[in-house]
Amino acid sequence: MHALLDPQEMARADRYAVETGVASFTLMERAGTAVADAVARFPLPTRVVVLCGPGNNGGDGFVAARVLAQRGFRVRVALLGEAARLTGDAAKAAAKWRGPVEEPAVLDLTEAGVIVDALFGAGLARDLDGAAKALVQRMAASGRPIIAVDLPSGLDGATGKVRGAAAQAKETVTFFRRKPGHLLEPGRRLCGRVRVADIGIPEAALAVIRPQAFVNMPDLWQDAFPLPAAMGHKYDRGHAVVVSGGPWTSGAAHLAAKGALRAGAGLVTVACPPAALPLHAASYAALMPRPVADAADLALLLADRRLGTVVLGPGLGAGAATRALIDAAAPGRRLVLDADALTSYEGAPWAVAAVAGRSAGLIVTPHEGEFARLFRGDREVLEAPSKLARTRAAARRLGAVVVLKGPDTVVAAPDGRAAIAENAPAFLATAGAGDVLAGIATGLLAQGMPVFEAACAAVWLHGAAACSAGPGLVADDLPEALRAVYAELYEKLGG
Ligand SMILES: NC(=O)C1=CN([C@@H]2O[C@H](COP(=O)(O)OP(=O)(O)OC[C@H]3O[C@@H](n4cnc5c(N)ncnc54)[C@H](O)[C@@H]3O)[C@@H](O)[C@H]2O)[C@@H](O)CC1
Ligand SMILES: Nc1ncnc2c1ncn2[C@@H]1O[C@H](COP(=O)(O)OP(=O)(O)O)[C@@H](O)[C@H]1O
Ligand SMILES: [K+]
């Protein structure tokens, strides 16, 4: 699994390495050398400017400068602050740099071939201001390629937010594991390409730290992924129900139903107002439309306990009728609530928590707008410091798995586990894409996949399907594109 470590956890990893016999200066030497290697890979970076800060991030910069000079690069080093105030490994690294240490103000950054940004990394403790902010702004304005050490200076490694200022890097070299800020926007874009260098921190550090945040990749959920059994039948693959709105809004349910089927649900019933029956009947022949005019009808349909997983929201309309449908569906069933279902509980997350409590597992899939509506007035959730923290707080509040969508979709469980996606192409932002995602999650839940893993897998599959479909994608393409993604996944997991 690809763990993400926040700056405190990273510092713990660092201490673990030292406790188990790796000298801390060795870590710095390796970190600085990895940065030098990154600079050397640039096309003709003969004139390198290294901007060092007052802590260990600056120490990495001094090491990189020394290694590059030894390799024949023309290197100038500037230090933000006074050399006399450097301490520990950073002071040691600075002492080993034999060249001049200049004032940042005297350097014309536009003349640099490459700038190494070694001002602040994991130790950023407050918003940049004064000379530090001005220097980062000069660096950003220089237009020269920047290689950031650990993080672009000013970027918060825990949150992905910019604190005061940060310069766009071409490449970021980080150590041991990435941090949430490397994946959460706007951090992800500011980092440019991220390389993770092995600096000798033992993998065993992870067993001590027990990180709870991960990159959303198949290794996170593949053990729970439902491969079809050789001797299985369709009921083994679950029976999902998609609750649809009327004829004019049935498209959204339609997309969700296709997502659920393509994700592998054995059967998919579309519960819809009678007027929408012909439309659903004319989509996939495999879908089973059933007339459901209201909550009482839905309860009747769901009396067959095999219909154990239900998605509500896409195209359903917000309000009391939708809440009644949700109440009818919830008891003992696995649910996905999306779109209008969430807007039906505007400012009332406690009501969704009650639904979660009655259900056998709930996934909610808001985009930022739906999230803000649902949690209106809940400052603890809305003002949590990052998208990761907000999603975790929401999951705790609801007792449900929360999928907060966007370019950096976060999935969080009430127990604190969380995953950040990095495989969604920008062209996935298209009408109806979210409906397909809700459907895929439903299809996986129907097959018995545990709730957190199902939500993570759905998000990853959705992004992979979009990549597979390619530019020009419309939501209708996504369920079809899942086939190629499944073919690859089956081969990888089943082989
Ligand atoms: N495993 C690890 O943790 C390793 C860390 N290393 C490097 O060490 C870095 C972390 O070092 P530090 O903890 O010393 O932290 P940093 O060097 O990132 O920053 C801390 C220094 O900056 C000052 N500072 C913080 N925020 C400021 C602000 N807004 N304005 C002005 N000054 C500010 C602090 O007073 C302190 O002097 C990592 O980013 C990485 O580059 C590497 O040397 C190797 C191993
Ligand atoms: N900039 C982006 N890059 C990648 N994926 C995105 C971006 N913006 C949105 N998405 C994804 O597109 C989908 C849009 O879903 P949603 O907002 O519910 O739209 P709709 O209601 O039209 O289906 C979500 O899966 C979301 O994560
Ligand atoms: K930096």
140-192 pLDDT, tens digit per residue, is 999 999 999 999 999 999 999 999 999 999 999 999 999 999 999 999 999 99
Q: Are strands 47-52 and 288-291 parallel, antiparallel or unpaired?
A: unpaired
pLDDT digits (tens, 9 = 90+) for 436-477: 999 999 999 999 999 999 999 999 999 999 999 999 999 999
Which letter does DSSP use for residue 274 in this model? G
Distance 341 CA to ligand 3 centre (A): 43
Q: Are the C-beta atoms of 154 and 124 separated by less than 8 Å?
A: yes
**pLDDT at 236 (0 to 100):** 80
| Residue 407 to residues 140, 354, 463, Cα–Cα distance (Å) | 24, 30, 10
Give all strands of the β-sheet with 193-197 in edge-to-edge order: 101-102, 74-79, 47-52, 114-118, 146-149, 171-175, 193-197
With a 6 A CB cut-off, is 121 part of the ligand 1 pocket? yes
Residue ID of nearest Cα to ligand 1 atom 39: 121
- The Cα–Cα gap between 59 and 366 comes to 43
Ligand with smallest separation from the Cα of 22: 1
* Nearest alpha-carbon partner for 88 in 34, 159, 14, 154: 14
Q: Are the C-beta atoms of 216 and 459 separated by less than 8 Å?
A: yes
Is the per-residue pLDDT at 222 higher than 80? yes
**pLDDT at 495 (0 to 100):** 65
- The Cα–Cα gap between 460 and 424 comes to 8
Residue 485, phi then psi, degrees to nearest 5? -65, -40
Domains of the chain and CATH, by start: 22-207 (3.40.50.10260), 218-494 (3.40.1190.20)
Look at the block and give the residue holding tokens 């450097």.
86
Task: Point out the least confidently predicted range of 282-291, 313-322, 454-463.
Answer: 282-291
Distance 182 CA to ligand 1 centre (A): 16
- The Cα–Cα gap between 438 and 237 comes to 17
With a 6 A CB cut-off, is 175 part of the ligand 1 pocket? yes
- Mean pLDDT in residue range 64-70: 97
- The Cα–Cα gap between 64 and 434 comes to 45
- The Cα–Cα gap between 264 and 489 comes to 13
Residue 339, phi then psi, degrees to nearest 5? 45, -120
- Mean pLDDT in residue range 286-307: 96
| Residue 48 to residues 35, 82, 218, Cα–Cα distance (Å) | 12, 21, 39
Distance 284 CA to ligand 3 centre (A): 53
Is the per-residue pLDDT at 113 higher than 80? yes
Is the per-residue pLDDT at 388 higher than 90? yes
**pLDDT at 279 (0 to 100):** 94
**pLDDT at 233 (0 to 100):** 79
**pLDDT at 180 (0 to 100):** 98
Q: How many CB atoms lie within 10 A of CB 350?
A: 11
Ligand with smallest separation from the Cα of 15: 1
- Please tell me the pTM assigned to this model: 0.97
Q: Which atom of ligand 2 is nearest to the CA of 436?
A: 23
**pLDDT at 100 (0 to 100):** 97
Is the per-residue pLDDT at 84 higher than 90? yes
With a 6 A CB cut-off, is 409 part of the ligand 2 pocket? yes
Distance 33 CA to ligand 3 centre (A): 15
